[in-house]
Amino acid sequence: MTTTIEIDHRNADHGGDPDEGPLYFARRKIQPIAVHGRFRRIKTVLLLVTLGIYYLLPFVRWDRGADAPGQAVLIDFPARRFYFFFVEIWPQEFYYVTGLLILAALALFLMNAVAGRIWCGYLCPQTVWTDLFLGVERMVEGDRRARLLLDAAPWSAEKLAKRTAKHGIWLLIAWWTGGAWVLYFADAPTLVAELATGTAPLVAYGWIAVLTGTTYFLAGHMREQVCTYMCPWPRIQAALTDEHALNVTYRYDRGEPRMSFKKATAARAAAQPAGDCVDCGQCVAACPTGVDIRAGLQLDCIQCGLCIDACDAVMEKVGRPTALIAYDTELNVRARIEGRPEVRRIVRPRTVLYAALIVAVGAVMLTALATRTTTDVAVIHDRNPVFVRLSDGGVRNGYTLRLVNKTTAAAQLRIVVGGLPGVGVEVIGAETLDGVPVVTVGRDQTREMRMVLSLHAEAAATVALDQVVPITVAVENLTTGEQATAGDNFRTR
Amino acid sequence: MNAHDHKPVDHVTGTETTGHEWDGIRELNTPLPRWWLWSFYASIVFAIGYMVVYPAWPLITGHTAGVIGWSSRGAVASDVAALQAARGDMTAQIDAADLAAIRTDPTLQAFAMAQGRTTFLDNCAGCHGAGGGGAKGYPNLNDDDWLWGGSLEAIETTIRHGIRSADPDTRITDMPAFGRDGLLERADITAVARFVRSLSGQEVPDGTDLAAGAQVFADNCAACHGDDGKGNRDVGAPDLTDAIWLFGSDESSIAAGVTNGRASVMPAWGGRFDDATVKSLVVYVHAFGGGE
């Protein structure tokens, strides 16, 4: 016997439960209103500073001598060097960059523990470029109301002109953003001249095109969707925050019950409770991610502080105290409601730990940088043949030496082999000084040399053959006196 | 749209059916995804374009050439030409420099060692081993014993002209097959083999008459190997007094050499490599450690 169960999915009712709605919402375009105030000024200054650094840093010069690049910050892939002012990093020293990334992560954690999403709200490139693109949009198409009307209006010559101007300026900024990016990888003035005359390498044009595209789409079209849907940081930071971290907070102890200004005035006259929030919606209109801060902390909120400015302007107009929305904690809002004293704890185990870690990692990195060696040697024993019998019955071993000179002048490196008395040392192609091989290595270069150790019969008698003898290869820079040592073996079997 | 355009819809899956029915089982209409279909069409278009542009169809005596005239041989030729052009400056410098200068100039040395290494591994390693360690019958290039000389010039001559090769200027000598050709009796061969062992201080059986072996050596071998057995590089005669034995130092190996002679062959490379490659190879071989 069979039972047939028929389910008509199309007629299932999703209306009642908010969790059962469709999984996809079409994006509601956000048209934030312009605000003026303290946080807008801070954001503008940070925008100018960060973009100024990004666009102009490649042109900053730094003298490193005649044969070295004169650019302060340069990632030189063909020569495999990274220059940052007085620091020069070789590929094998990439751990400095790892250290820098650890510092950056810890700084992010500390910022988050002190005052929430400072990074998201003020410093993140996505926020900064979106802010810049919004500014352009506002300049060309007007403020929120004008833009909403323009969106709704049918196509006309004016609308076409405004749209063309907006997208044109956006593309120009995006193009210059991509252009500035490639300048970090080659001598900036030279590359600018090459780009202008069409003689730059193809890869430069390729990268400019890619970054023009990403900047235009991320800052012009995707905007808050990057923060809400693409970025992992909102999810991570939610796990790193605690009840003492300052966040952009709607002080509902003061704001509720919200009502219109007229009703609030009447209520206060009648000694009825009335909140300061006049429910004008300016905080929502000003928000670049389109959230209502009065709903509390939420994932979409990047905590840029623009709703604080918007609300303060309204509070001044209606004659109520400002800072209805402010950097505060949920803990303090509840404390005020319950009549307990407010608690402000910047110094707490979490922030102390992050700060201590930053200091420790920074100290390790500075020490590593200060004690960075400029002379180095690596030794590789021949794999085939492992050893060779000489005509007098002695033994010969072959090695490959990699000599490193990180100084800014050509260096003479003297090579001394220890651990094997009486051994004959020959470094192929090297000069000799008092019978000891000396290799000249150019400034900021490495040189590979072949070294042959020959233990002739008389000397071989002093070490028992048929064994593996550990040896050391010591290298001394005759100019600076700096030394480096590497170990290997002399094999007779 | 007309009402009869709509096919019946299967209630369980919500998918429309083809309208076909077999014993109450209806066939769901699930066509290929649109993206798949368009990719398929695009690849057909690409394939047609590819057949026009590149060599594609076999013909009876050849193949269609394609409109841009590409061929894998042509691609290799242009790659080789590009490589030669890229190396041009260094090749010219190596051509102009003498061998000793290449060995000590850092730039030339680095280039010669790199070029020499690939050349050696491609052409020489088959017999001499990847590290020049040699094998029985194939000399070890790392030690200090040379049949024909270990100076840069001697190595260059050997590489260019080979040993017992077809090159008119090849290094050539023959060790006679004393036993096979009936020049020496078996007893004499045993005696001289034991005497040769004694030259490098190796053991010989008790009661061996070394004087007899010495006499055979003086009469037959000393002309090339020298009265003291130290060899002669002019004729490629090995030193018989040292610790290095190309074919083995035991009595039977030595006796086999005396009986049948030794005539190893190395090809001449001068006609296969250009001058710069030969010079790089010389510097590389010299740098194994045995160079004099």
Residue A291's nearest CA partner among A279, A278, A280, A303 is A303
The first and second tokens of residue A213, run together, are: 């595209």
* pLDDT band at residue B102 under the 50/70/90 scheme: very high
| Sequential pLDDT tens for chain A (493 residues) | 444 444 444 444 444 444 555 666 677 889 999 999 999 999 999 999 999 999 999 999 999 887 888 999 999 999 899 999 988 899 988 889 999 999 999 999 999 999 889 999 999 999 999 999 999 999 999 999 999 999 999 999 999 999 999 999 999 999 999 999 999 999 999 999 999 999 999 999 999 999 999 999 999 999 999 999 999 999 888 888 888 999 999 999 998 889 999 999 999 999 888 899 999 999 999 999 999 999 988 889 999 999 999 999 999 999 899 999 999 999 999 999 999 999 888 899 999 999 999 999 999 999 998 888 899 999 999 998 899 989 888 899 999 999 999 988 899 999 999 988 888 999 998 888 888 999 999 988 999 999 999 988 877 666 666 778 899 999 999 999 999 999 999 998 7
Contact A389, A465 (CB under 8 A): no
Asked whether residue A24 is assigned to any structural domain, the reply reads no
Task: From the options 3.10.150.10, 1.10.760.10, 1.10.540.10, 3.40.50.720, give the CATH code of B186-260.
Answer: 1.10.760.10
Question: What whole-number distance in Å separates Cα of residue A42 and Cα of residue A304?
Answer: 10
Q: Do A454 and B144 touch (CB under 8 A)?
A: yes
A440: nearest CB among B103, B106, B132: B106
Residue A22 lies in a domain: no
B110: contact with A, CB 8 A cutoff: yes
Instruction: Quote the number of domains for chain A.
Output: 3
Beta carbons of B239 and A8 less than 8 Å apart: no
A85, A202: one domain: yes
Taking the CB of residue B264, how many other CB atoms lie within 10 A of it?
Answer: 14
In terms of Cβ atoms closer than 10 Å to its own Cβ (0-12, 13-18, 19+), residue B227 is exposed
Q: Touching check for A262 and chain B: CB below 8 Å?
A: no
Residues A235 and A276 in one domain: no
Which residue out of A3, A387, A390, A412 would a mutagenesis test of the B interface target, given it has the greatest number of B Cβ atoms within 10 Å? A390
Please give the pLDDT value at position A429. Answer: 86
Q: Would you tell me which residues 289-308 of chain A have a C-beta closer than 8 angstroms to some C-beta of chain B?
A: none
In a domain, A266, yes or no: yes
- Beta-bridge partners for A303: none
Query: Which residues are registered as beta bridge partners of A476?
Result: A414, A483
For B238, name the nearest residue in chain A, comparing CA atoms only: A391
Residue B60 contacts by C-beta under 8 Å, 6 or more apart in sequence?
Answer: none
Identify the closest residue of chain B to A448 by CA–CA distance: B110
Domain carrying residue A309: 242-337
DSSP assigned state of A304: -
Residue A70 and residue A162 in one domain:
yes
Please say whether the beta carbons of B139 and B219 come within 8 A: no
CA–CA dist A368, A372 (Å, integer):
6
The gap from C-alpha A154 to its chain's centroid, in whole angstroms, comes to 43
pLDDT for A286 equals 95
The verdict on A440 touching B (C-beta cutoff 8 Å) is yes
Same domain for A234 and A285? no
Rounded CA separation B204/B265 (Å): 31
B82 burial type by CB count under 10 A (0-12 exposed, 13-18 middle, 19+ buried): exposed
Query: Among the three residues A337, A364, A388, which one is the final residue of a domain in this structure?
Result: A337
Which residue is listed with tokens 């490098």?
A: B200
Tell me whether A214 touches chain B (CB under 8 Å): no
Cα-based distances in Å from A431 to A402, A439, B24, B138: 16, 6, 95, 32
Residue A467 lies in a domain: yes
Question: Do A322 and A460 fall into the same domain?
Answer: no
Token code pair at residue B126 = 């088959």
pLDDT at position B246 is: 94
CB contact residues (below 8 A), chain B span 116-135, against chain A: 129-133
Which residues, including other chains, have CB under 8 Å from residue A171's CB and lie 6 or more apart? A212, A216
* Residues B243, A383: C-beta atoms closer than 8 Å: no
CA A70 to chain centre: 24
Would you state the torsion angle of the CA atoms of residues A216, A218, A223, A229, taken in this order, to the nearest 10 degrees?
160
Annotated binding-site residue numbers of B for heme c? 124, 127-128, 175, 221, 224-225, 266
Cβ contact A383–B131 (<8 Å): yes
Give the C-alpha separation, A223 to A311, whole Å.
Answer: 23
Best of B142, B199, B233, B242 to mutate (most A CBs within 10 Å, chain A): B142
What string of DSSP letters covers B31-42? PPPHHHHHHHHH
pLDDT for res B291: 83
- Examine the pLDDT at B142 and tell me if it is beyond 60: yes
Residues A320 and A262 in one domain: yes
Question: Is B113 in CB contact (< 8 Å) with chain A?
Answer: yes
Query: Which amino acid is present at B15?
Result: T
- Dihedrals φ, ψ of A440, to 5°? -90, 125
Residue A19: what pLDDT?
A: 54
Residue A19 CA, distance from chain mean position: 36
CB contact under 8 A, A389 and B244: yes
Distance CA A301, CA A228 (A): 9
Alpha-carbon gap: B289 to the closest alpha carbon of chain A (Å): 6
Chain A contact for B200, CB < 8 A? no
CATH assignment of the domain containing A401? 2.60.40.10
ipTM greater than cut 0.90 = no
Question: Across the interface, do A398 and B129 touch by the CB < 8 Å criterion?
Answer: no
Domain closes at, from A289, A321, A337 = A337
Cβ–Cβ of B142/A447 closer than 8 Å? no
What is the spatial distance between Cα A286 and Cα A305, in angstroms, rounded to a whole number? 10
Q: Are residues A154 and A177 located together in one domain of the fold? A: yes
A33 occurs within a structural domain: no
- Asked whether residue A468 is domain-assigned, the answer is yes
A243 by Cβ neighbours in 10 Å (0-12 / 13-18 / 19+) ranks as exposed
C-alpha to C-alpha distance for A310 and A326, rounded to whole angstroms: 11
Q: Which amino acid is at A63?
A: D
| Boundary of a domain, candidates A216, A239, A262 | A239
Q: In the CATH scheme, what is the homologous superfamily, with its name and number, of domain B73-170+266-286? A: Cytochrome c-like domain (1.10.760.10)
Q: Are B151 and B162 in contact (CB under 8 A)?
A: no
Residue ranges for the known binding site of B are 124, 127-128, 175, 221, 224-225, 266
**What residue in A sits closest to B287 (Cα-Cα)?**
A428
Q: Which of left, alpha, beta for A80 (phi over 0: left; psi -120 to 50: alpha)?
A: left
Phi, psi values for residue A128, rounded to 5°: -65, -50
Best mutation target among A391, A402, A447, A453 (most B Cβ atoms within 10 Å) is A391
Q: Report the C-alpha gap between B8 and A419 in whole angstroms.
A: 91
Can you say whether the dihedral through the CA atoms of A186, A70, B106, A490 is positive or negative? negative
A225 with A278, same domain: the answer is no
Say if residue A61 is in the same domain as residue A202.
yes
Which pLDDT band holds residue B251 (cuts at 50, 70, 90)?
very high
Supply the angle between the helices A202-215 and A157-183 in degrees, to the nearest 10. Answer: 130
Residue B146 pLDDT:
93
Q: Are residues A200 and A187 in the same domain?
A: yes
Q: How confident is the model at residue B9 (pLDDT cuts 50, 70, 90)?
A: confident
Instruction: Look at the alpha carbons of B284, B288, B289, B292 in this order and tell me if their dihedral is positive or negative.
Output: negative
Residue A430: closest CA among A396, A464, A403, A459: A403
Please answer yes or no on whether B109 and A384 come within 8 Å at the CB atom: no
Q: Cα separation of A345 and A351, whole Å?
A: 10
B288 and A454: CB-CB below 8 Å?
no
Q: At what angle do helices B72-96 and B275-286 cross, to 10 degrees?
A: 70
Same domain, A146 and A287: no
Query: Which chain B residues have a beta carbon less than 8 Å from that of A454?
Result: 144, 289
DSSP class of residue A34? P
Report the mean per-residue pLDDT for chain B: 91
Cα–Cα distance between B292 and B149 in angstroms, integer?
8
Check CB contact of A9 with chain B, cutoff 8 Å.
yes
Could you give the count of Cα atoms lying within 13 Å of A128 in the half-sphere of its Cβ?
21
Say if A10 is an interface residue toward chain B (CB within 8 Å): yes
Choose among A6, A431, A440: nearest Cβ to B12.
A6
pLDDT at A4: 46
B145/A385 Cβ within 8 A: no
Interface of A with B in 359-418 (CB under 8 A): 382-385, 388-393, 396, 398
pLDDT, one tens digit per residue, over B74-83 is 999 999 999 9
Please tell me the distance from the alpha carbon of residue A11 to that of residue A422, in angstroms, as a whole number: 95
Tokens of B20: 């076909």
Give the pLDDT score at A66: 79
B245 close contact with A: CB closer than 8 A? no
A140 and A279: one domain?
no
In chain B, CATH 1.10.760.10 sits at: 73-170+266-286, 186-260
Q: Which of A384, A442, A452 sits opposite B129 (nearest CB)?
A: A384
Across the interface, do A440 and B144 touch by the CB < 8 Å criterion? no
Helices (H), B54-185: 72-96, 99-104, 106-123, 125-128, 152-161
Within 10 angstroms of residue A265's Cβ, the number of other Cβ atoms is 14
Contacts of B244 in chain A (CB under 8 A): 389-391
